[in-house]
Amino acid sequence: MTSGRQRWLGPAMFLPAVVYVIALVGVPFVLAFLYSVGDVKVGSLGYHFVGLKNFASVLRNPTFLRALRNSFLFTISSQVLVLIGANVLALVLKDAFRGRRLLRFLILLPWVAPVSIGSIGWKWILDSLYSVINWVLVRFHLVKPFSAPMWLGEPKLAMISVILVHTWHMLPFATVIILAGWTAIPRDIPEAAAVDGAGFFRRLFQIQIPMMLPIMNVAVLFGAIFTFTDMTVIYILTRGGPYDTTQVLPSMAFFTGILGGDLAEGAAISIFLVPLLVLVAWLMLRTAHRSEIA
């Protein structure tokens, strides 16, 4: 009797959560694929299968090709910067010192404050007329007052700006993950190596970095996903402009599917996010599986 009830208790306790998640993640996930091969528009209820027509139209669109390229540029360059910055920052933060808690709080601000709000702060810092950066540049005679850089108005500078602001936002997240890795390295191994005469850099490159690799994996995998699929910084700073030069896949899906009302084509654009998601999920499962065996 008890065991019979027990058998039902488990599913009864976890099924509601699973159903909720399936209804609001699983169902729309499948719908995204159906939309991308259909003709759904805002305001019409019918659905006809149109095959790969949306994908063909998207692939002929030069803006889409630019967005695809930008997405990779945005993700790879910000993740490289994040990884370098986070390792340096973790190195100086890992040991206890006076004022560490306050400094840690200040350093974490870009991650713990809402990113849309941090970005609007940057919009003011990068303002075309009142940019404080430009004020400093002019003051030190590095640029002339009327030829100061338009950070968000010129295609190349705008791309650099959104990459740097996104790096600013993600850096603390990776730093904290890497710090967690540092505290998990047994202290006696590097110490024993030091006693045996290994110098700082030798210890760093031959012992500590190899031991840190799994945790850096975690930081990079999550960082890449959160960057590749995000549009907040770009939406707020440039709205994909000037002339769609900072458009990425998520922002383009938003402008096409939500604002433009072409649900089918928007869905087709966002489907291009899926391969990277699958790759990352597979890499994570592999890591998880390996640690289960070990």
Partner 1 sequence: MMAVGMRARRLGGRMLHWMVLATFCTLLAFPFYWMLITSFKSTRDLYDLKNNPFIFNESPTLEHLRLLFRETLFLRWLGNTAFAGLVVVVITLVLAVPAAYALARLTGRWGGRVGIGIFLTYLVPPTLLFIPLSRIVAWLGLQDTLWAVIVVYPSFTIPFSTWLLMGFFKSIPAELEDAAMVDGLTRFQAFLKLVIPISVSGILTVVIFTFTLVSQEFVYALTFISSAAHQTVGVGVPVYLVRGDVYYWGSLMAACLVASLPIAVLYNLFLDRFIAGFTVGSVK
Residues 81-120 that bind partner 1 (CB under 8 A): 85, 88-89, 92-93, 103-110, 112-120
CB 162 within 8 A of CB 151: no
CB 268 within 8 A of CB 54: yes
The single-letter DSSP state of residue 42 is: T
Give whichever of 121 and 206 is closer to partner 1, judged by the CB atom.
121
Contacts with partner 1, 218-257, as mask; x by CB under 8 A: x---x--x---xxxx--xx------------xx--xx--x
Residues touching partner 1: how many (CB under 8 A)? 98
72 lies in the site for partner 1, by CB under 8 A: no
286 lies in the site for partner 1, by CB under 8 A: no
Q: Number of helices (H) and strands (E) in the chain: give both, helices first.
A: 15, 0
On the question of a cis peptide bond just before residue 16, with omega within 30 degrees of 0, the verdict is no
Looking at residues 27 to 56 of the shown chain, list those that interact with partner 1 (rule: CB under 8 A). Answer: 27-29, 31-32, 35, 40
In the complex, minimum distance from the CB of residue 128 to partner 1, in angstroms, rounded to a whole number: 11
Give whichever of 158 and 267 is closer to partner 1, judged by the CB atom.
267
DSSP reduced 3-state for 217: helix
Residue 28 dihedral angles phi and psi, to the nearest 5°? -60, -30
Binds partner 1 (CB under 8 A): choice among 124, 143, 191, 243:
124
147 lies in the site for partner 1, by CB under 8 A: no
User: Rounded to an integer, what distance in angstroms lies between the CA atom of residue 225 and that of residue 221?
Assistant: 6
Sorted by sequence, the CB contacts under 8 Å of residue 46 that are 6+ apart come out as 39
Binds partner 1 (CB under 8 A): choice among 177, 238, 240, 247:
177
Residue for token pair 């986070």: 86
- 127 burial class (0-12, 13-18, 19+ CB within 10 angstroms)? middle
Looking at residues 183 to 212 of the shown chain, list those that interact with partner 1 (rule: CB under 8 A). Answer: 184
In the complex, minimum distance from the CB of residue 156 to partner 1, in angstroms, rounded to a whole number: 21
Name the one range near partner 1 by CB under 8 A: 53-61, 76-84, 152-160, 264-272.
264-272
25 lies in the site for partner 1, by CB under 8 A: yes
